[in-house]
Amino acid sequence: MSIIERYKPAFLDSSAQGPKGSRHTLNYKKIWQMVIFLTAAVTLVPLITITMLDYNVTQKSIESEISLRTRRTVSNTKRTIVSFFSARRSALDFIVHDNDISVLSNTNRLEEILNDLEISFGGFVDLGVINDKGVQIAYSGAYNLGGKDYSDQAWFNRVVDMGVYKSEVFLGFRNKPHLVIAVKCEFGESGFYVLRATLDTDQFNDIFATLELNGEGDAFLINHEGVIQTPSRYQGDVFSTVSILVPPYSDYTQVQEYRQEDKEQFIVGYAYIPDTNFILMIVKQKAALMKSWYATRSNLIGFLLLSITLILGVIVLGTTYLVNQMFFSDRKRAMVMHRIEYDNKLSTVGRLAAGVAHEINNPLAIINEKAGLIKDLFVYREKYSGDDKLMGLVESVLSSVTRCGTITKRLLNFARHMDESFQTVDIKTVIKEALGFLVKEAEYRSIEIVVTVPEEFPEVECDRGKLQQVLLNIVNNAFSAIGSEGRLTIEVQTKNEQFWILTLADTGCGIPEKDIEMIFEPFYTSKLDQGGTGLGLSITYQLIEEAGGFIKVESEVGRGTSFIITMPFKPKKRKEANTCESF
């Protein structure tokens, strides 16, 4: 039997449905399916719905939080950068307002100021004064730029127009990155000069270096063309182009998702630094940010799947168990009903038969005595004793009466013992009495019956009526199986101190292997078309069990069948007929 066969519940078996006019009142398979479906739906649908809702909400919440945090960091950093520039611009403004152009044009003074700037701010590399023609009239610093002409340079025009200029990062003195701030100072009428300072980017870069970023965050500046201005962890060296697309202009901090082809997803927070060519970029790896969410998500999904499995498991197993119980219970009920029906029928028929027998006995007794009297007259009176023919006739009548008497006695005997319970019996007698009913039929069908009971076989305490019912049942079946021309062997032997064995073997058509397991099942019959109810052997089984015995069958198609019944010599004290201890 495959595993499925072994565990398949009985009610799913189609043969359990029974023939038309099924004894089962319910369609178990349907009930089973319905219950499972409904229970599963009502438990799983809310579970899954809520899980999904929770999932969505949590995910959105986490994404929102990430976005918010990034946005805040970007905003704060933007403010820091703006402050940085603002402070240094203010310093320059102070210088130009504090010092006249004539003072500033003095290189020594310029040098002093540069030193002071260096002490107070740090990072100032040089300082230069440029006149309204674009010529550097004073310079202090690392380079040698005195007298340089900036008139045609874009930055100069810009500072002239806007009053202030902040450059991009460029490769300056000693090939290190620098940037420039310049402010315009007007004096008199339409007169102006420009104060220009070069800064190294150390302090500038520190703004980014000191940021604490999660998600492998990378904070840096790019210019509007995407050239990296400050050191980046992952995006490339300073002055290389960032691989991320330059984000569109916005007055405010923005946070976006960005996906590189086939590569990871990034969260990019950016802000355009006003009055500069800079864009602040803070790039975080989505995977790193979402790591805890992914873990939670896995747990959530894992929990969901586990729950679903458990729930389905419990539902299916529970429902299967329950429906199975219903099925067996229903079957048992049907069995009990039929057993009651059988017992009632038997009882009624028994009483009927007894009634008939009794009624027949009276005229039978009269015939017996009258014929007997005739015989007596022949014997005791000379007149008739010589007439052999008449004597013969009388004898014939008498022997027929005796035969009738045997039949009625047998019937009455059987009826009498039906209501009894346990008594001590001689097995041989019981068997003979039971067979008595069937001797004629056996002759008619040419079936030889052989009974073997050991000489000194002890008396048995059992329910005589039940034993006879069992015998009649099995012998009848044997006759059906044989049809005509065959042999039935009934053998009695001792098994051990407690049990004896009754074997009934016929030379009938046999039982196919697939049916053997089923023959004791209630309602199982091969005689459906003859009106067989399939109850004979099932009831036989019950009767034997109630008597404390056990029955098993061996059969071979075409050769015959043997029923082996093991019975106790003495019945146990039993309350419930269902206990039958096998050996």
Contact positions toward another protein, by CB under 8 A?
354, 357-358, 361-362, 364-370, 372-373, 376, 379-380, 401, 405, 409, 412-413, 415-417, 419-420
Nearer to another protein among residue 322 and residue 379 (C-beta): 379
The C-alpha torsion from 341 through 344 and 350 to 356, rounded to 10°, is -100
In this structure, are residues 150 and 142 in contact, taking their beta carbons and an 8 Å threshold?
Answer: no
Nearer to another protein among residue 250 and residue 402 (C-beta): 402
**Shortest distance (Å) from residue 465 CB to another protein:** 11
Within a 13 Å sphere around the CA of 300, how many CA atoms are in the beta-carbon half?
18
Rounded distance, CA 433 to CA 455, Å? 18
Rounded distance, CA 92 to CA 127, Å? 10
> Per the structure block, which two tokens stand in for 70?
């990034």
In this structure, are residues 112 and 140 in contact, taking their beta carbons and an 8 Å threshold?
Answer: no
In this structure, are residues 221 and 230 in contact, taking their beta carbons and an 8 Å threshold?
Answer: yes
**Shortest distance (Å) from residue 372 CB to another protein:** 6
**Shortest distance (Å) from residue 380 CB to another protein:** 5
**Shortest distance (Å) from residue 399 CB to another protein:** 12
Residue 48 identity (one-letter amino acid): I
Residue 316 forms beta bridges with which residues? none
For residues 110-133, b (16+ Cβ closer than 10 Å) or e, as one string? beebbeebeeeeebbbbbbbbbee
Nearer to another protein among residue 459 and residue 513 (C-beta): 459
**Shortest distance (Å) from residue 353 CB to another protein:** 11
Nearer to another protein among residue 419 and residue 556 (C-beta): 419
Rounded distance, CA 481 to CA 532, Å? 14
Nearer to another protein among residue 236 and residue 372 (C-beta): 372
Nearer to another protein among residue 13 and residue 420 (C-beta): 420
What's the DSSP call for residue 486? E
**Shortest distance (Å) from residue 428 CB to another protein:** 21
Nearer to another protein among residue 291 and residue 403 (C-beta): 403
> Per the structure block, which two tokens stand in for 87?
């402070």
**Shortest distance (Å) from residue 383 CB to another protein:** 14
CA distance to 441, 503, 514, per residue, from 353 (Å): 19, 29, 39
Q: Which element (helix H / strand E) includes 284?
A: strand 278-285
Nearer to another protein among residue 72 and residue 416 (C-beta): 416
Secondary structure (DSSP) of 498-566: SEEEEEEEE-S----HHHHTTTTSTT--S-GGGT--S-HHHHHHHHHHHTT-EEEEEEETTTEEEEEEE
**Closest by CA position to 510, among listed 551, 559, 447:** 559
Nearer to another protein among residue 225 and residue 376 (C-beta): 376
**Shortest distance (Å) from residue 348 CB to another protein:** 16
Nearer to another protein among residue 121 and residue 437 (C-beta): 437
**Shortest distance (Å) from residue 569 CB to another protein:** 24
**Shortest distance (Å) from residue 25 CB to another protein:** 40
Mode of pairing for the β-strands spanning 460-463 and 422-425 = antiparallel
**Shortest distance (Å) from residue 370 CB to another protein:** 6
**Shortest distance (Å) from residue 571 CB to another protein:** 20
Place of tokens 């959105």: 60
Nearer to another protein among residue 5 and residue 382 (C-beta): 382
**Shortest distance (Å) from residue 469 CB to another protein:** 17
Rounded distance, CA 222 to CA 207, Å? 14
Rounded distance, CA 397 to CA 391, Å? 10
Q: In three state form, how does the secondary structure of 236-278 look?
A: CCCCCECCCCCCCCCCCCEEEEEECCCCCEEEEEEEECCCCCE
Question: Phi and psi (nearest 5°) for 533?
Answer: -100, -5
**Closest by CA position to 236, among listed 283, 187, 197:** 283
Rounded distance, CA 34 to CA 284, Å? 52
> Per the structure block, which two tokens stand in for 523?
């309602």
**Shortest distance (Å) from residue 401 CB to another protein:** 6
Nearer to another protein among residue 230 and residue 408 (C-beta): 408
